[in-house]
Amino acid sequence: MIQDAATATAVHTLFEWGGMALGVALWRHALRAQGRSPLQAGSFAVLVGLLLGAALGNKAVFLAERPDVLQRLLAGEALWPGQSIVGGLLGGLVGVELAKRATGQTRSTGDAMVLPIALGLCLGRVGCLLAGLHDSTYGLPTTLPWGLDFGDGQARHPAQLYEMVFVAALGWALWHARVRLGGVPGLAFKLFLASYLAWRLAIDALKPVPVAYPLGWSGIQWVCALALLAYAPFVFRAWRQLPAPTP
């Protein structure tokens, strides 16, 4: 693991931007496979909504996770808030839906983003893993044989690796079922987002809690729980529309 803070930040940023670039490239490829272009009026509006929503969402959820940082910002301290994947996904979802409403689009656009998001997220988590203690994604101390020492002499849960394995498996499962799930446009993305929110609600219990909220949960866990409650009806409604499998 990288011990120097400046190097860790640089490497983490490199993998983070690399993950986003990979995701965008795969999304463009998926659109072209559907005979669409990212520069078409509707697709471009969706892209703008996605980027703006994700940018705002990842900062907002990070500050919900770290209200101490928010207080320092409000006090005038020169800080640059971190980011939250959960916030980026939720903010991007809101941004896309607002862009579609503004341009009168009704076609679902999320399914083409499932594989790009999954692969981009896995690549970004490599940077989190290499950054070690300079990134807030490491786990609590553990005695399990696969615990990793991130630089403080304690074996910890490699939460970044757990997430890479989970997201890769989820992406593969949804890709494998793409033909059947394609019977309900948007269902694959809904399943991906709901599964990821449930995963983060569970896995973040294995991470240090910087600021405890009710039940001892972190801010991100509460965001995931509330988002799941709000989003579950849409997931179930889409799932019920899925045609029965052909014998």
Mind listing the pLDDT tens digit for each residue in 145-162?
999 998 888 999 999 999
Mean pLDDT of 162-188: 93
Question: What pLDDT, on the 0 to 100 scale, is given for residue 152?
Answer: 87
Kindly indicate the confidence band of residue 233, based on its pLDDT and cuts at 50, 70 and 90.
Answer: very high
Rounded CA gap, 158 and 210, in Å? Answer: 18
Question: What pLDDT, on the 0 to 100 scale, is given for residue 78?
Answer: 75
User: Residue 141: beta bridge partners?
Assistant: 156
Q: Which domain holds residue 63?
A: 5-135+158-240
- Number of domains forming the structure of the chain: 1
Rounded CA gap, 90 and 108, in Å? Answer: 16
The answer to whether residue 89 sits within a structural domain is yes
The answer to whether residue 153 sits within a structural domain is no
Residue entry with tokens 């503004």: 102
pLDDT greater than 80 at residue 108: no
The answer to whether residue 73 sits within a structural domain is yes
The answer to whether residue 19 sits within a structural domain is yes
Q: What's the pTM?
A: 0.90
Percent of the chain with pLDDT over 70: 89
Mean pLDDT of 163-172: 95
Question: What pLDDT, on the 0 to 100 scale, is given for residue 167?
Answer: 95
- The 3-state secondary structure of 132-146 reads HHHCCCCCCECCCCC
Average pLDDT, the chain: 85
The answer to whether residue 143 sits within a structural domain is no
H-type alpha helices, 34-155: 41-65, 67-74, 85-103, 114-131
The answer to whether residue 193 sits within a structural domain is yes
> Cα angle vertex 159, ends 215, 206, to 5°?
25
Residue entry with tokens 């101390």: 141
User: What confidence tens digit (pLDDT) does each residue in 5-54 have?
Assistant: 667 667 767 777 777 777 777 767 776 776 666 556 566 777 788 888 88
The answer to whether residue 23 sits within a structural domain is yes
The answer to whether residue 140 sits within a structural domain is no
Question: What pLDDT, on the 0 to 100 scale, is given for residue 74?
Answer: 87
